[in-house]
Amino acid sequence: MLISLVKQEITFAILFLVFTAAAWAQSPPGVSASKPLEVSEADGVPVILKHLPDYESIAQKARFINSKTQLRDAVGERHVLEPITFGAGTEAAFAAYPAGNLLIVEYTNPQASTETDAAVLNLISQSPGDAPTTYRRVGNYNVFVFDGPDAAAAAALVDQIRYQKMVHWLGDDPYMLKRLERYMAVTTRDIALSTVYFIVVGLLVAISAGIIAGLIYFRFRDQKRINSAAFSDAGGLTRLNLDGLSEPVLPE
C-alpha cells in the first residue's frame, strides 16, 4: 500500500512538471510565466508588446513585465522608476532600439497614470542627471527612453506609440454632458473668432479697394483736366480764376 501511494505521488509530480514545462514552452518570446491582463487572440502575445514600435522586427527581444523585479532586471536600478507599482493590472513592455531602451508602462485607469506622471516629472526636476533621455505620457501609457544617444531620435521613437484603447459604457456615458458642453464652448469660440476675422479682413479689403479706386479716379481726372483746352464763360469780363481753367490776364 505504501509503495503504491509513493508511486502515485511520483506519477502526479512527473505529470505536473510535464504540464508546467509544456505551458512554459508555449509562452511567446519575452513573456513571463505570469498571465498578462490582455493577450492577442491570434498568437497569445500580450497586447502591450504589439504596441511597441516596429514590433515584428524586435519581437524576439521584447520583454513583458508585470513585477518590480522584472522591471529592475530589464532596465536596471533607476531612481526615476520608483513611483511605478504593478498592482491592479499594471503591465509594461521593454525593448532595445537604436534610439534607446524603450519602456512602456500601462495602467488600467487614467488616474493612476496621471499620478505616476506627476511623480516622475517631480523626480526628473529634482534629479536632472538621472533623467531618462525622453519621457512622455501617452494615454494611459507612461513611456520612457533610456540611454539614447540622441534626444531627437528618442522623441521620434516615442512619437510612433499610439494608445488605441477605447472605453465603452454598458449604460449611459456619465461624461457625455461634459463632452457636449466642451464641444459647444469650443464650437462657439471658433465661430466667434471666424466671424471677427472675416469682418476685419472684409473691412481691410474694402478700405484698400476704396483707396486704390480713389487714387485711380483722381489721377484720371487730373490727367483729363491737364489735357483739356482752357476756356472762359465770363464773356470777356473779369472773373475769379478759382478753378484754374482760365488763362492768366497779364497787364498791358
Residue 166 buriedness (CB in 10 A; 0-12 / 13-18 / 19+): exposed
Which residue would you say has higher pLDDT here, 4 or 134? 134
Distance, in Å, from the CA atom of 211 to the CA atom of 203, rounded to the nearest integer, reads 12
pLDDT exceeds cutoff 70 at 135: yes
Length of the chain: 252
Grid coordinates of 95: 525593448
Q: What is the mean pLDDT of residues 95-117?
A: 89
What is the number of H-type helices and E-type strands within the chain? 7, 5
Q: Is residue 61 a contact partner of residue 96, using CB atoms and an 8 Å limit?
A: yes
Alpha-carbon distances of 102 from 53, 55, 98, 129, rounded to whole Å:
9, 12, 10, 18
Residue 229: its pLDDT value, please?
62
Distance, in Å, from the CA atom of 141 to the CA atom of 162, rounded to the nearest integer, reads 9
Report percent pLDDT > 90 for the chain.
26
**Residue bearing cell 522608476:** 81
Distance, in Å, from the CA atom of 99 to the CA atom of 111, rounded to the nearest integer, reads 30
Grid coordinates of 126: 529634482
Going by C-alpha positions, the residue among 222, 223, 224, 243 that lies closest to residue 232 is 243
Segment 170-212, tens digit of pLDDT = 677 676 788 788 889 999 999 999 999 999 999 999 999 999 9
Going by C-alpha positions, the residue among 70, 58, 82, 74 that lies closest to residue 32 is 70
The domain spans of the chain are: 27-166, 169-220
pLDDT exceeds cutoff 70 at 21: no
User: E-assigned strands of the chain?
Assistant: 63-65, 91-97, 100-106, 134-138, 141-146
Torsion of CA 20, 25, 30, 36, to 10 degrees: -50
Identity of residue 234: A
Q: What is the mean pLDDT of the chain?
A: 79
Confidence of residue 24 (pLDDT cuts 50, 70, 90): very low
Query: Could you give the count of Cα atoms lying within 13 Å of 129 in the half-sphere of its Cβ?
Result: 0
Alpha-carbon distances of 76 from 15, 69, 107, 147, rounded to whole Å:
37, 10, 21, 11
Segment 25-67, tens digit of pLDDT = 444 444 444 555 566 666 668 888 888 888 888 888 889 998 8
pLDDT exceeds cutoff 70 at 116: yes
Which residue would you say has higher pLDDT here, 10 or 73? 73
